[in-house]
Structure 1
């Protein structure tokens, strides 16, 4: 993985930068959120390839993941400081990090839509991408 989920997903983090403990946490988040949301695993596979299907369970999964990763709180508010720290650790360019946050971390009508759109935006605007598990 080279991007964070803010995701994904938000956050953008390189696989090489992740410790084994962090990788295990991500796998656990994915497993827990899959069980919670009931998301079709094919939709997760598609999202990993950049095809974000407009599906309520996928959005719920991404919101769950975003909360566990600290990118959104329970109310769905974006936690920019967390995202900035994790994203800049990978990009090593605060200006680029801030531009990406301004472009992608935008509150939508629901927390689920915010997570979905934010993660999709990060995916589309970073050179390398996150996998969700």
Structure 2
């Protein structure tokens, strides 16, 4: 039992060491959202967002992450400047960044649906930076 625990600690430490600072921040945000019962969601639901777009737990979790990373303001409104800046971390083509902001940063019926749609749209275009954990 102790051996398994030590091995798990070594694996976690090795993985943490290999993450960039931004990835570590994203992991912390994800973990914080998962630690709150109001925003906890089964990982399987997150890995198939399109099939779970109307799931309130998925929406709550994605809004939690979106607000924490700055994509949405505390009131749920999109922050286009932050979205553009975050997309630019993984997309160097300025025209593509602008296109993605116009296509993906679209207000939906609720802040939760806005968050889910934003992540799904970006993922569809290969911008998976925001939710790999």
Give me the TM-score of the superposition, normalised by structure 2.
0.74
- Structure 1: runs of 5 or more not aligned: 1-18
Q: Which has the higher helix share?
A: 2
- Whether 1:99 and 2:99 are equivalent positions in the alignment is yes
The Cα of 1:22 is off from its aligned counterpart by: 1.9
Where relative contact order (Cα < 8 A, 6+ residues apart) is larger, the structure is 1
Aligned residues: 112
Give, in whole Å, the separation in 1 of the partners of 2:99 and 2:20: 30
* Bigger Rg, structure 1 or 2: 2
Match of residue 40 from structure 2: 38
- Structure 2: runs of 5 or more not aligned: 1-18
Give, in whole Å, the separation in 1 of the partners of 2:40 and 2:86: 28
CA RMSD, Structure 1 to Structure 2 (Å): 2.0
> Counterparts in 2 of 1:69-80, with a 5 A limit?
69-80=69-80
